[in-house]
Amino acid sequence: MENVKINGLIAAPFTPFDDKGEVDHSIFKEYADFLADTHFEYVFVNGTLAEGMSLTVAERKATAKAWVNSGKGRLKVIVHVGTNCLKDSQELAKHAEEIGAFAIAALTPSYHKPENEECMVEYMAQLAAVAPKTPFYYYDINFATGVYINCSKFLKLAKDRIPTLCGLKHSSRELPSAHGCTLVEGGKYQVLFGTDVQYLSCLVLGMSEVVAAPVLGNLFHEIKKAFDKGDLETARSLQCKAQRLNEIKDRHGGGINIAKSMFTILSGLEMGSVRLPLRALTLDERKRLKTDLETAGFLDIAKPK
Amino acid sequence: MENVKINGLIAAPFTPFDDKGEVDHSIFKEYADFLADTHFEYVFVNGTLAEGMSLTVAERKATAKAWVNSGKGRLKVIVHVGTNCLKDSQELAKHAEEIGAFAIAALTPSYHKPENEECMVEYMAQLAAVAPKTPFYYYDINFATGVYINCSKFLKLAKDRIPTLCGLKHSSRELPSAHGCTLVEGGKYQVLFGTDVQYLSCLVLGMSEVVAAPVLGNLFHEIKKAFDKGDLETARSLQCKAQRLNEIKDRHGGGINIAKSMFTILSGLEMGSVRLPLRALTLDERKRLKTDLETAGFLDIAKPK
Amino acid sequence: MENVKINGLIAAPFTPFDDKGEVDHSIFKEYADFLADTHFEYVFVNGTLAEGMSLTVAERKATAKAWVNSGKGRLKVIVHVGTNCLKDSQELAKHAEEIGAFAIAALTPSYHKPENEECMVEYMAQLAAVAPKTPFYYYDINFATGVYINCSKFLKLAKDRIPTLCGLKHSSRELPSAHGCTLVEGGKYQVLFGTDVQYLSCLVLGMSEVVAAPVLGNLFHEIKKAFDKGDLETARSLQCKAQRLNEIKDRHGGGINIAKSMFTILSGLEMGSVRLPLRALTLDERKRLKTDLETAGFLDIAKPK
Amino acid sequence: MENVKINGLIAAPFTPFDDKGEVDHSIFKEYADFLADTHFEYVFVNGTLAEGMSLTVAERKATAKAWVNSGKGRLKVIVHVGTNCLKDSQELAKHAEEIGAFAIAALTPSYHKPENEECMVEYMAQLAAVAPKTPFYYYDINFATGVYINCSKFLKLAKDRIPTLCGLKHSSRELPSAHGCTLVEGGKYQVLFGTDVQYLSCLVLGMSEVVAAPVLGNLFHEIKKAFDKGDLETARSLQCKAQRLNEIKDRHGGGINIAKSMFTILSGLEMGSVRLPLRALTLDERKRLKTDLETAGFLDIAKPK
């Protein structure tokens, strides 16, 4: 599996819910169109923005399947299989392999926490082993899980224990840690930084593949184009746009509920609300968010061109 | 449901695993005997010490059923139904009601975190509602979940929203917060402090019912007896014993893996290992733990008399 | 110094400031009267409630001196000498010995943090050594300093390194840790729990000497009296009063600024405002605090009788 | 003061101590030579690496003076004046203005913590006001102080309250927050990122001026040169060198004690040990550090050429 390299933008899509809070399967086709039309080539599904942890195992399987089906020929699907329970994660991993997912990824259990990198490797080895033909990415998001490990050390220890390991999704916000991981074993592992605001900083360090909110396809595509041409000024000014977009999100609270509404507003695809324990926005909150996006001139920023 | 009051010691039993890491259903009868014979009258099952979060929904149901069956006539069963996913928790709650559990309890989702007490109430209301005939206890263990709310405020807000609410299991280590909860609404709610070392401090504050590790039945029974007689000196000296027992646990690492081995050693009931991501103890670690317990004269402390 | 035992209630007084934010030296006599008249026998000065860290070394010396002078014959003075800088702390410790302080105490530097218990012992040994005739107490308040050490381990390691060590002021809120410290070396060290709400829990564990906010003299005196007579019901109901008083403080924000205003209101001694970076209360906030205290019937609770 | 812009590399030098732990004033001349000869144009003195918080006010004044004197004509001096006590900081600020420092900077008090951005502005306004002719930089290092504020909000609120405010030293490791600050008020404020490993990421975002460990002059100079020429490949490979240097530091513990020894080894200037509560390295630890640096081929990396 040495040669698997992801090459292209990765979206972390929200899970669409209908009025009753059930996954809205009617929208996936259109959703995949939207992502493909805004320069995404991969989707990282059932992750954090997708509220994957608030879905049952059955719902996660159905959602993964829906993405594989509707992404066919356009979007490669990375299925997030992390849970608090190894058996559940193994079931999800096996299923992902069966339905032909491009790859799987998993975050650590976070209620019971592995006490060190060795335990993490052991856990992930037993998880990855049930999907022996599918590339595996460790997903680190320490501020959300409360589990702080040394990712470089994880990679070194995992090398001989997880044959399918291809890299990690690094959403810790700590660029130097991510950069350090790209230096392990002569660059054997690919680091997919999870970020809405540090794309240019990643590019300059040689980490071209990032996982981003699904509103950012156009913008990140433009940043990459400018960067590849050596036009750093343009790249920087586009990166500032991403920063300003993010600041609007933060000003309204900054949570997944806000990010999801922002996507509905900017994409025109109705994502519905969030599941508890996240808080549903009021109509008024949603309206104010839209007004701010409009004032900033961002209403068309995410639309296919 | 106003009048439900728990009255007696509550054990938080470990889940017994066999050599393959599966729940060992052959031991529950003997296990229940042991607990009843060491002065426990309630069991709080599938909780933190039980690694409930590392079990699948199906395993949790089977375990809850096993406790209800083997506890019959001796132990009342409180089933912990907390997970990261409301639907899973609802399924567990419904099942608990069907099998005749005495009560249910739930901790907060901890990957996605409720942003305030109002969201927590909303979540718990939707959970408790599916088991309308079963007393409900909110389970707060903030240092493990990373969710810090004001428990008194939760109780006040929940009063009109959760008709089955009878109190909370307060495992935050913060005695004043727990004590404060006993003063809400004129003492309407019962506070079950989760503790291995603060029993005497609870008793003196009028919080007689606590949830404790299953090695502590004899010791806590003796503490209560001495306290009820007004013999504080004896009570204090027994409490020091509990403190010393706990210090041995901490000296060896303090985790659930240690606590579980300690129970195997002191009860004679083989609990097996822990599940990943917790770390299995080596034989050598287990041996050293036993030696320390022996040296301290604790080998018979938990045995039925 | 083996036999130094504190025996009596310890107040942690606020530092009085005048309109210009300077220490108000005109009030110390009256202040000492108040404390002595409400059953305090010791004062712990220049500590956290006193905003000791917001005073210059010169101001701290002057304040310590003022307390020693005005306390003479009534109040024994424990001078807090902790700072971020060993040399400053040594200067304060030497001065405390010169002016005849009963004891000194020090918290850890908290900007640069000692990496383990050994470093802490080394630091405190070099500090205590400059006041070789004055009892020394280590002051642990981990949630404020961000330094989390094992206090029992500290005591064991310090035994042969700090000849003047008599115990610790334990303000960590963690009763079991404090209780554990009383068991070290056969009870050699005295543990002064810092608390406004856990007095009864301390008493039942044999920790009779606590450091408390200066409004609590009467109340804690009554709790002790009831406890000593074996009247736990009365003791508990008085402890509930302390809990309710504390809840009012918390409802208004819970900070030192609130606690200080509360003392002004309940004692009749004008403490003035707090120093930056703490926030001065508005007149309106102070008024609302007073109203709440009045409504709860607490206006006379702290007054000498 | 609108037009003050720092333009050039800023070193954060360690404070040299002699065998007795006193500031070694004999070395400043040579020290300034070294820094100027390795492309630094500014020094940020008495800060975190310098153990400024472990120095008395008198020592900090003397050290600031020594830097101003020995830097004359080569290095502009930014004096860090942050402490836990406003009066101490004001004294240091006044002194810095008197001795002709280029600028002052201050971190927040961290024992008593300002409760919000407004309190922080009020504190810093009263501090900056005593040095009305000297540019002021707010110094944010949240992981060390435990004070987490929104720096952009601070800048906006401070605009009309601190006439000397020129920007901030942002050592929080959070690049997006720093980047956001550069967008406030149309770029009015300069952001000096404090970093040993994110220089290239800063450059690409237009934040050219950074504060770095004094070993990094040559390396950062080369990175800037390559970046300015548009040679990103070279810049990246030099940035990897900085990353590897930092990983050696981390492997040996990562603290200021290690960083300081590393500087002694790589510069040839004897910095002496660290002050308590930091732990002095053993000779053996220092030797092993040197071996690792040698093996990695880094022994000449910091030397003037």
Please report residues of D whose CB lies closer than 8 A to that of A173. 174, 176
Long-range contacts of A206-212 (CB under 8 A, 24+ apart): A206/A182, A206/D236, A207/A178, A207/A179, A207/A182, A209/A6, A209/A7, A209/A8, A209/A9, A209/A10, A210/A9, A210/A10, A211/A10, A211/A11, A211/A12, A211/A44, A211/A47, A211/A169, A211/A171, A212/A9, A212/A10, A212/A11, A212/A12
Query: How many Cβ atoms sit within 10 Å of the Cβ of residue D88?
Result: 21
Structure-block tokens of residue A195: 């970020």
Q: Do C200 and B205 touch (CB under 8 A)?
A: yes
Nearest-angstrom CA–CA distance, D178 and D199 = 13
pLDDT band at B108 (very low <50, low <70, confident <90, very high): very high
Give per-residue pLDDT as tens, B233-256.
999 999 999 999 999 999 999 999
- Sequence-distant (6+) residues with CB within 8 A of D22 are none
Domain architecture of chain A: domains with CATH: 9-231 (3.20.20.70)
Nearest-angstrom CA–CA distance, D163 and D158 = 8
Contact C41, C220 (CB under 8 A): no
Please report residues of C whose CB lies closer than 8 A to that of D84. 53-54, 83-84
- pLDDT of residue C2 exceeding 70, the answer is no
| Chain D residue whose CA is closest to C141 | D111
Give per-residue pLDDT as tens, A114-157.
999 999 999 999 999 999 999 999 999 999 999 999 999 999 99
Q: How far is C208 from chain B (nearest CA, A)?
A: 13
Helix (H) or strand (E) holding B247: helix B232-251
Q: Write down the catalytic residue from D139, D189, D199, D260.
A: D139
First to last CA, chain D: 36
Q: At what angle do helices B256-267 and B283-295 cross, to 10 degrees?
A: 60
Nearest-angstrom CA–CA distance, C242 and C245 = 5
Strand partners, C191: C168
Structure-block tokens of residue D71: 């830097």
Q: Do B277 and A113 touch (CB under 8 A)?
A: yes
Structure-block tokens of residue C295: 């409504």
Q: Which residues of A touch B (CB under 8 A)?
A: 48, 51, 53-57, 59, 83-88, 108-115, 118-120, 122-123, 126, 144-146, 255-256, 275-279
Contact B49, B83 (CB under 8 A): no
Q: How far is D180 from chain A (nearest CA, A)?
A: 7
Nearest-angstrom CA–CA distance, D210 and D222 = 14
Q: Do D277 and C123 touch (CB under 8 A)?
A: yes
- pLDDT of residue D276 exceeding 90, the answer is yes
Distances (CA, A) of B133 to B89, B121, C100: 16, 18, 68
- pLDDT of residue C109 exceeding 80, the answer is yes
Closest partner residue to C205 (CB to CB) among B174, B179, B236 is B236
- pLDDT of residue D65 exceeding 70, the answer is yes
pLDDT of res. D2 = 63
pLDDT of res. D1 = 66
| Chain C residue whose CA is closest to D21 | C87
Within 13 Å, how many C-alpha atoms sit on residue C56's CB side? 16
Nearest-angstrom CA–CA distance, B260 and B270 = 9
Q: Write down the catalytic residue from D169, D224, D249, D260.
A: D169
pLDDT band at B151 (very low <50, low <70, confident <90, very high): very high
Give per-residue pLDDT as tens, B45-100.
999 999 999 999 999 999 999 999 999 999 999 999 999 999 999 999 999 999 99
Give per-residue pLDDT as tens, C177-236.
999 999 999 999 999 999 999 999 999 999 999 999 999 999 999 999 999 999 999 999
pLDDT band at D172 (very low <50, low <70, confident <90, very high): confident
The DSSP string of B183-204 is TGGGGTSEEEEE-SS-HHHHHH
Q: Do C51 and D112 touch (CB under 8 A)?
A: yes
Structure-block tokens of residue D76: 């502009």
Locus of tokens 């399924």: B91
Locus of tokens 């299989």: A81
Q: At what angle do helices D28-37 and D57-71 cross, to 10 degrees?
A: 50
- pLDDT of residue C157 exceeding 80, the answer is yes
Contact B79, B135 (CB under 8 A): no
Whether D139 sits among the annotated catalytic residues: the reply is yes
Q: Using CB atoms within 10 A of its CB, is residue C283 exposed (0-12), middle (13-18) or buried (19+)?
A: exposed
Nearest-angstrom CA–CA distance, A226 and B244 = 66
Helix, strand, coil % over all residues of chain C, rounded to 5: 45, 15, 40
- What percent of chain D stands above pLDDT 90? 97
Please report residues of B whose CB lies closer than 8 A to that of C201. 175, 198, 201, 204-205
Structure-block tokens of residue B293: 């317990």
Helix (H) or strand (E) holding A40: strand A40-45
- pLDDT of residue C172 exceeding 70, the answer is yes
Q: How far is C197 from chain D (nearest CA, A)?
A: 22
Helix (H) or strand (E) holding A11: strand A9-11
- What percent of chain A stands above pLDDT 70? 99
Amino acid at A46: N
Contact A116, A150 (CB under 8 A): no
| Chain C residue whose CA is closest to B244 | C180
pLDDT of res. C1 = 66
- Sequence-distant (6+) residues with CB within 8 A of A237 are none
Structure-block tokens of residue D50: 């310098």
Contact C255, C278 (CB under 8 A): yes
Long-range contacts of A23-27 (CB under 8 A, 24+ apart): A23/A55, A23/A59, A23/A62, A23/A63, A23/A66, A24/A272, A25/A62, A25/A66, A27/A269, A27/A270
pLDDT of res. A172 = 86
Question: Which residues of C belong to the active site?
Answer: 139, 169
- pLDDT of residue C239 exceeding 70, the answer is yes
pTM score above 0.95: yes
Q: How far is C163 from chain B (nearest CA, A)?
A: 26
> Does the annotation list C211 as a binding residue?
yes
Select from D118, D104, D114, D162 the least CA-distant residue to D142.
Answer: D114
Select from A111, A109, A119 the least CA-distant residue to A139.
Answer: A109
Chains that touch C (3 or more CB pairs under 8 A): B, D
Locus of tokens 């070394």: C57
Report the alpha-carbon angle C179-C182-C187, nearest 5: 160
| Chain B residue whose CA is closest to A145 | B111
- pLDDT of residue D141 exceeding 90, the answer is yes
Please report residues of C whose CB lies closer than 8 A to that of D260. none
Give per-residue pLDDT as tens, C31-73.
999 999 999 999 999 999 999 999 999 999 999 999 999 999 9
Q: Using CB atoms within 10 A of its CB, is residue A50 exposed (0-12), middle (13-18) or buried (19+)?
A: buried
Q: Using CB atoms within 10 A of its CB, is residue B229 exposed (0-12), middle (13-18) or buried (19+)?
A: exposed
Three-state SS for B220?
helix
Nearest-angstrom CA–CA distance, D140 and D173 = 10
CB pairs under 8 A between C and D: 98
Closest partner residue to A243 (CB to CB) among D179, D232, D235 is D179
First to last CA, chain A: 36
Nearest-angstrom CA–CA distance, C83 and A184 = 42
Q: Do A55 and B85 touch (CB under 8 A)?
A: yes
Whether B189 sits among the annotated catalytic residues: the reply is no
* ipTM over cut 0.90: yes
Query: Distance of alpha carbon C11 from its chain centroid, rounded?
Result: 6
Select from C213, C276, C241 the least CA-distant residue to C51.
Answer: C276
Please state the rounded mean pLDDT for residues C240-255. 96
- Give the mean pLDDT of chain B: 97
First to last CA, chain C: 36
| Chain D residue whose CA is closest to C145 | D111
Q: Do D123 and C55 touch (CB under 8 A)?
A: no
Please state the rounded mean pLDDT for residues D269-287. 97
Q: How far is B183 from chain A (nearest CA, A)?
A: 27
Q: Do C112 and D277 touch (CB under 8 A)?
A: yes
Residues of chain A where predicted confidence (pLDDT) is lower than 50: none
Helix, strand, coil % over all residues of chain D, rounded to 5: 45, 15, 40
Amino acid at D173: R
- What percent of chain A stands above pLDDT 90? 97
pLDDT of res. B2 = 63
